[in-house]
Amino acid sequence: MPEWIDLKQAARALKEGDGARVTVAVIDSGIETSHPQLDGVTLIDDLAVVPGGHMLKAVPGAGLDVFGHGTAVAGTILSLAPKCQLGSFRVLGSDNASKTEIVQRAALEAVDRGYKILNCSFGGKKKLEAYKAWVDEAYLKGVHIVAACNNEDFRTPEWPAYFPSVVAVNMMQTDEDSLFFYQRDTLVEFVARGINVKVLWRDGREKTVCGSSFAAPRLTALLARLLSVYPDVTPLQAKAILHKIARPWRGRPGES
């Protein structure tokens, strides 16, 4: 069991950590490694999980983002935790959709490869058992999961955000990149910047977007900062730390 750290130490790490030695799996639409603002980023892994007959297979991702979403997530993480190491696990297609089985295979692949954080800027409404299987596996192995919630109504159950072991994140309007709030009495407990934010996109572009998908990687980056200073913090401890350090949400639940 890692030694408990006090809140002053944790707050300092969240402010001063750089993500060094922390590995983050971006489970998304791929990462465009040639994007000029990613500065020639080198990925630990670059895989795409695709159907192969009656089975799924992992094939090289070839530095491609088939939609733009994954590049946005990667750019956001690296802007706040520049020394963390990313792996790309492409599960979303050009329509920004996927299947539960594909997501499950990619998540388990990332867990087996020893990633410390899984960024899941997506949500599924079906096959709860399949999601629970890999979320529980990650928890038992000390892997942190950060997930986006439903954009229309955060109270709509979506997986993996609605599992208590997951750091679930809603969006808000703010200009402060590192600001985050704790929202009580809901499984979507955290709120961070995700409205009218400029992000990287495919084909070397930038785009202004709204969504919890772009709030979640901010918590991923802050968690990477914490783990770069205190690498043995467990998922349960990390959530407790984030609860205590976050500003209390004063508005109505889910209000941006």
- How many separate domains does the chain show? 1
Q: Per-residue pLDDT averaged across 97-105, rounded?
A: 94
Q: Per-residue pLDDT averaged across 117-145, rounded?
A: 96
Q: Can you tell me the distance from the alpha carbon of 53 to that of 41, in angstroms, rounded to the nearest whole number?
A: 33
Give 226-248 pLDDT, tens digit per residue.
999 999 999 999 999 999 999 99
Residue 85's DSSP bridge partners are 23
Tokens of 128: 């709860």
pLDDT band at 256 (very low <50, low <70, confident <90, very high): very low
For residue 206, is it within any domain?
Answer: yes
For residue 254, is it within any domain?
Answer: no
For residue 255, is it within any domain?
Answer: no
pLDDT band at 251 (very low <50, low <70, confident <90, very high): low
For residue 39, is it within any domain?
Answer: yes
Using a pLDDT cut of 70, give the percent of the chain over it.
96
Q: Can you tell me the distance from the alpha carbon of 238 to that of 144, in angstroms, rounded to the nearest whole number?
A: 8
Range of the domain at 167: 7-248
Give 145-156 pLDDT, tens digit per residue.
999 999 999 999
Residue 46's DSSP bridge partners are 88
For residue 2, is it within any domain?
Answer: no
For residue 1, is it within any domain?
Answer: no
Q: What is the CATH number of the domain that holds 115?
A: 3.40.50.200
Q: Is the pTM of this model over 0.75?
A: yes
For residue 256, is it within any domain?
Answer: no
75 has a pLDDT exceeding 70: yes
- Other CB atoms closer than 10 Å to residue 231's CB: what's the count? 12
